[in-house]
């Protein structure tokens, strides 16, 4: 099972912009809050193993407004 650590938006943005491979973005609205995932499909990875980072989109949540929450998968953080 993949493990994630919650980070600040600044740390998250830096991680995404400096990630060494192309990331594919998916957004799913079948959950509350909606979830945005950043996927690395290189090397034949498939979902959910392809998810390197994700955002809980509370700004679009129908049950209340909270700040978005940002997460990076721990084993990809160690790549830096």
Residues 2, 58: Cα–Cα separation, whole Å: 22
pLDDT computed for residue 68 by the predictor: 93
Rounded to the nearest 10°, the torsion over CA 9, 46, 2, 65 is: 40
pLDDT computed for residue 43 by the predictor: 87
- Residue spans of the chain under pLDDT 50: 80
Nearest alpha-carbon partner for 49 in 58, 59, 57, 39:
39
Residues 38, 55: Cα–Cα separation, whole Å: 9
Domain count, the chain: 1
Please identify which residue in the block is written with the tokens 């600040």: 8
Expressed as residue numbers, the domain containing 15 is 4-77
> Considering the entire predicted model, what is its pTM?
0.87
Residues 53, 37: Cα–Cα separation, whole Å: 6
């Amino acid at each position: 099972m993949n493990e994630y650590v919650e980070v600040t938006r600044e740390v998250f943005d830096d991680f995404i912009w400096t990630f060494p491979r192309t990331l594919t973005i998916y957004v799913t609205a079948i959950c509350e809050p909606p979830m945005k995932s950043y996927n690395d499909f290189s090397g034949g990875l498939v979902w959910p193993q392809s998810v390197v980072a994700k955002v809980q989109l509370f700004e679009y949540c129908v049950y209340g407004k909270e700040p978005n929450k940002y997460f990076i998968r721990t084993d990809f953080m160690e790549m830096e």
